[in-house]
Amino acid sequence: MVLPLNAPASKEPIEIRIKRKAQELGFAECGVSSALVPSYHDRYRDWLANGNAGEMSYLHRQEPKRGDLNEVLSGVRSVVVVAMNYYTGDVETSEGAGVVARYSRFDDYHQTMWSRLAQLTKFIEEERPGCHAKAYCDTGPVTERDLAMRAGIGWIGKHTNLIGRRLGNWFFIGELILDFDMDSDEPATTHCGTCRRCLPACPTGAITAPYNLDARRCISYLTIELKGSIPVALRPLIGNRIYGCDDCLAVCPWNKFAVKSRDQAVQPRKDLISPDLCELLGIDDLEFKNRFANSPILRTKRRCFLRNVCVALGNVGGKEALPYLTKALTDHEPLIREHAEWAIGEITRRQETDNQCI
Ligand code: SF4
Ligand code: SF4
């Protein structure tokens, strides 16, 4: 929607005033969608029924609500969708270091998103006294990507994530569910065309077909959502990724339009740009809690995070990692001990092969 910049602010339609406020709050995009039944809900139900969600049982529990926004807010009429740009440029990882997905290199974005959505809610309630609003960001039973597409923010690419014409692949979304009517934006159209770059870019083959992701094979799932042992067959494919994965997003040609964000909330922490794997393996419970207090990494808990570190060391570590892994064999967490043992086996095997080649 084109903003009529010469119109007096008080005469502007509510949709425009909301968008101005969203921009003022630091959101890169803001769109409006009607509250129709999500268009791909049947497909989502099939995706769940086929077991693609792995251990994410909350997705099954939330499924009925996802089909009807009235379950979220009675009398829902429209949805405001906002996007927060987190692109801050590309960085190189040092040899032997771990890789943390871009969105996790700064403080947990949920706090920022909640705070900004709360301010936007207050603004709307002042504009429309008596209205009801409910904010969502990642955690609720809302078909967020579908709503974002219908609000014109971006389209769902073949890798199943959102892509924006101006933001590429690097943005978060949040929603305000509202109980009054507004003019909707034009829905986004799909612009993947004949491109298929993201499919072969996936190290684990998790994108089994265009628009279909088997979460059980996805490194983001394996390193963040999975609470137990990582399947042995998939460990070598994880490489040095210790929290999430960006590969399918990073190869997308639409990233050429991404503009660096100056938002302080998304500037990467130095210690998460290229973290030293051996050093990470040495952190105890208290240090983990202190160091990652405001980070999404806290969500995985120490046992799963160090499990990931062991896998990364097993894949890229050399003999310098062996003392750290040997110490981890005595960790109080069996999960860490098991993955440390696997990593020692991998490094030893590599060294034996190298020795035979000399
Ligand atoms: S995030 Fe990584 S593992 Fe998951 S689908 Fe994308 S490339 Fe594959
Ligand atoms: S890499 Fe190509 S196919 Fe994959 S999401 Fe981007 S544009 Fe679509």
pLDDT at 6: 45
**pLDDT, tens digit, 9 for 90 and up, residues 185-234:** 999 999 999 999 999 999 999 999 999 999 999 999 999 999 999 999 99
Q: In whole angstroms, give the CA distance from residue 22 to residue 6.
A: 19
Give the catalytic positions in this structure.
138
pLDDT at 42: 73
**How far does the centroid of ligand 2 lie from the alpha carbon of residue 166, in Å?**
15
The answer to whether position 316 is within a domain reads yes
Q: In 169-321, where does DSSP find H-type helix?
A: 198-201, 219-220, 235-238, 247-250, 277-281, 285-291, 301-316
Q: Which of 129, 153, 178 is the last residue of a domain?
A: 178
Q: Which of 178, 211, 240 is the last residue of a domain?
A: 178
Q: What's the Cα-to-Cα distance from 196 to each of 8, 77, 154, 191, rounded to whole Å?
A: 47, 36, 18, 12
Q: Which ligand is nearest to the CA of 162?
A: 2
Nearest one of 178, 50, 191, 199 to 120, comparing CA atoms: 178
Ligand 1 site residues, Cβ closer than 6 angstroms = 159, 201-204, 206-207, 213, 218-220, 245, 247-248
- Token pair of 246, please? 């960006």
**pLDDT, tens digit, 9 for 90 and up, residues 242-265:** 999 999 999 999 999 999 999 999
Domain that includes residue 95, residue range: 9-178
Q: What angle do CA 67, 68, 72 make, to 5 degrees?
A: 120
State pTM to two decimals.
Answer: 0.89
Q: In ligand 2, which atom is closest to the CA atom of 199?
A: 4
Q: Does ligand 2 lie within 6 Å of residue 198's CB atom? A: yes
Q: In whole angstroms, give the CA distance from residue 35 to residue 69.
A: 7
Q: Residue 34: beta bridge partners?
A: 78
Q: Which of 178, 213, 240 is the last residue of a domain?
A: 178
Tell me which amino acid residue 222 is: L
**How far does the centroid of ligand 1 lie from the alpha carbon of residue 53, in Å?**
14
Mean pLDDT, each 10-residue run in order, the chain (358 residues): 46 94 97 78 73 71 71 91 95 85 94 96 96 88 87 96 96 96 95 98 97 95 96 98 97 96 94 95 97 94 98 97 98 98 97 79
End-to-end CA distance of the chain: 66
The answer to whether position 230 is within a domain reads no
Residue 283 sits in the same domain as residue 172: no
Q: Which secondary structure element, helix H or strand E, spans residue 32, and what is its range?
A: strand 29-34
Residue 17 sits in the same domain as residue 165: yes
CB atoms within 10 A of CB 170: 26
CATH number at residue 297: 1.25.10
Q: In whole angstroms, give the CA distance from residue 239 to residue 1.
A: 44
Number of domains in the chain: 2
pLDDT at 127: 94
Q: Does ligand 2 lie within 6 Å of residue 321's CB atom? A: no
**Helix, coil or strand: residue 119:** helix
The answer to whether position 298 is within a domain reads yes
Q: In whole angstroms, give the CA distance from residue 166 to residue 130.
A: 35
The answer to whether position 140 is within a domain reads yes
Cβ neighbors of 323 (< 8 A, separation 6 or more) are: none
- Tokens 């860490």 sit on residue: 336
Q: Which ligand is nearest to the CA of 212?
A: 1
Q: In ligand 2, which atom is closest to the CA atom of 251?
A: 1
The answer to whether position 28 is within a domain reads yes
Residue 18 sits in the same domain as residue 154: yes
- Best substitution site from 100, 211, 247, 249 to test ligand 1's pocket, by max atoms within 8 Å of Cβ? 247
Q: In ligand 1, which atom is closest to the CA atom of 249?
A: 6
Please give the full DSSP string across 85-102, using - where no structure is assigned. Answer: E------PPPTTB-EE-G
Which DSSP category does 164 fall into? B
- Tokens 């934006």 sit on residue: 185
The answer to whether position 358 is within a domain reads no
The answer to whether position 257 is within a domain reads no
Q: Is the dihedral of CA 263, 258, 161, 75 positive or negative?
A: positive
Residue nearest to atom 7 of ligand 2 (CA): 192
Nearest one of 159, 261, 244 to 201, comparing CA atoms: 159
- Best substitution site from 163, 230, 245 to test ligand 1's pocket, by max atoms within 8 Å of Cβ? 245
Q: Does ligand 2 lie within 6 Å of residue 195's CB atom? A: yes
Q: Does ligand 2 lie within 6 Å of residue 251's CB atom? A: yes
CB atoms within 10 A of CB 175: 25
Residue 48 sits in the same domain as residue 170: yes
**How far does the centroid of ligand 2 lie from the alpha carbon of residue 314, in Å?**
31
Residue nearest to atom 1 of ligand 1 (CA): 245
Residue 18 sits in the same domain as residue 144: yes
Q: Which ligand is nearest to the CA of 155?
A: 2
The answer to whether position 196 is within a domain reads no
**How far does the centroid of ligand 1 lie from the alpha carbon of residue 358, in Å?**
36
Residue 22 sits in the same domain as residue 150: yes
